[in-house]
Structure 1
Amino acid sequence: MEWVVAAVVIAVLALVAVVGLVVPRRRREIPPAPPRPGVDYAPGVGDDVTLPRDTPTRTVEDVPLPPTVELAPTPEAPVVLPPEPVAPPAPEIERPAPVAGRLARLRDRLSRSQTSLGRGLLALLSRDTLDEETWEEVEDTLLTADVGVGPTQELVERLRTRVRVLGTRTAEDMRLMLREELVELIGPGMDRSLKTARHPDGRPAVVLVVGVNGTGKTTTVGKLARVLVSEERDVVLGAADTFRAAAADQLTTWGERVGVPTVRGAEGADPASVAFDALKQGTELEADVVLVDTAGRLQNKVGLMDELGKVKRVLERQGPVDEVLLVLDATTGQNGLIQARVFSEAVAVSGIVLTKLDGTAKGGIVVAVQRELGVPVKLVGLGEGPDDLAPFEPEAFVDALLA
């Protein structure tokens, strides 16, 4: 009986298996899709607003076109041409002040700057008693004014002699006596004229201007050109200071202001060559005078002083140099005498230009430098204005001292 039960069980299991293979299983039910943020409802915090990649999109045919807007025609922009380059205006030619007018102005300035010297001497000489102590004070006053030891002793001795002979001494008498002695000390008979006339053979006069650095040498050349232009002279400037480009530019500006040509060379060029070219151009232009500016140099620099001598020798190939003007700063006092001595030995100075004479009460440098070199002071500068340079006149200078 047991085997019968086992067979029945096996048969039932086989039937169940066959039924499972034949009858298909019921499909699982698919849950509905969740609502889509941004499509089925407004997105909230944590929702992704981007549409799923499988979201159906509209085709081109379904997208409506924007309305057509008619635009007004844009006028063509005018063609703007770049402006033509405009040449800078030519500098206006100035007319320098006449010499006579500037002399009066310089005399007034000099009288203000030199008052202490003149008043000091007059106060001492007008004392009731002129004893040894007073005469020593007169000497000190003159020495302080840079008159120099020799000229001071000479002047005091002559004054003492005249006082003894005169006897009575009023203030006006002493003033006249002091004026006469000062004029005589300065040397009214010295030739102070500038040789700036053209030579009979057509060669222009040559004026070589020398001096140390800082004396106002280039400015003096420019001012001297103005003086000559006011005297109806034709001038050519030579910028032989090739060590400083600013010097050549400065001299060119001075020339342009009065309509005077300037000959210049490249920076570092041979100064003698530039000076020679200036003289050549002056001859071609039939100028009256050629003014040659040289580089400032210390008197103790032998090489530079030799170079200055070379410039003079090159100019002398065409004829003698008419003037060698040494520019001295009046405020340097006795140091100016050392400069004057060395320059005179190098290039044979023929005249002196004293600049900045209004900046010192030591007007005695005029006497001292003339005695040192034996050459006259020919020009004086009393200011920074373009016309503050004038011929030196001993009588006017002394009158300004005693004003």
Structure 2
Amino acid sequence: MREKLKAFSDSSLFLPVVALAVLLTFNALFVDGFMTIQLTEDGRLYGRLIDILNRSCSLVILSLGMTFVIATAGIDISVGAVVAISAAVVCSLIGGRGDGVAETPMFLAILAAIGVGIFCGIWNGLLVAKFKIQAMVATLILMTAGRGVAQLMTGGQIITVYYKPFEYISGVIPGNILPTNIFIALAMVLLVAFLMKKTSIGLFIQSVGINPTAARYAGINVTMVIFLVYAFSGLCAGVSGLIESSLIRAADANNAGLNMEMDAILAVALGGTLLSGGKFYIGGSVVGAITIQTLTTTMYALGVSSDQLPVVKAVAVIIICLIQSKKAQEMFAAWKEKRNQKGKTAVQDPHRLAERMVNEA
């Protein structure tokens, strides 16, 4: 049992699971009805825990793409803007007519929104992989211009969709007890898990992140790997845009996906993936995303405003960076070794141990 606990404490899941457990325990003790889950009259589950899962789905999906990007020693700060573009596309195509009729078939509108997300990822991939522009600068271009593009698509207005089936993307389909976006997020996680288990893409991404030059000499097409990683990040942002627009039944170019790129990066870092690239942990990123949403829900339950919430997340980022830093790990290892040495000395010298016990008495 002790060996299993030690193995878990050394794994990438330890930090996000402990953080999530601490948050849940805090909420269970100090937030009334936090653990309560009820069944409504229309047959769906309702409660704060269900709400956390519901609201974290977009972030979970974004974190999947961000994990691959960061694993290649890159960054994608444009995903929030891509979410806004995807939402603008799907809502513009379906239309804001008040009669509840879709101007474009919803299936085609969904494909278009996802396709636009992939196109944005391809754009970032070309700049980073082909033209060798730094990832921060390359994705900053789309981050800056993306919301302007979304504003042009919506004419600067909030397009409200009254088409009933559009609500089912993030709502509850009649006959189900959980929101549909939970199943969408689960499908995306299973897809990534399948790719990791059945293909070599995970090894390629890790190799490129650790040493792209060595990976190139080993026969890996580094340019293609980086290109596909950013394209997948765009796909994830496109799907998240669908979910976010369906949650509010509208396209809000100013607020859709706002600061979600920061939450995705924080979730990936909390999950144990180093921001310098290399090893990555999909499970840790998923738990990290749920933890971030739990933190957000906790702050709102305590009366913290949305303007003050970034301060709390900034503190969390600082703590995570300190934990992941080599200097902090070396200091902790030295302290642990020093403590072990003191324990060994006390055991080896019973006279000194007895003398210390007498003095303490």
Q: TM-score normalised by the shorter chain: which range applies?
A: under 0.3
What is the TM-score with the length of structure 1 in the denominator? Answer: 0.23
More strand by share: 1
What is the TM-score with the length of structure 2 in the denominator? Answer: 0.24
More helix by share: 2
Structure exhibiting the larger radius of gyration computed from Cα positions? 1
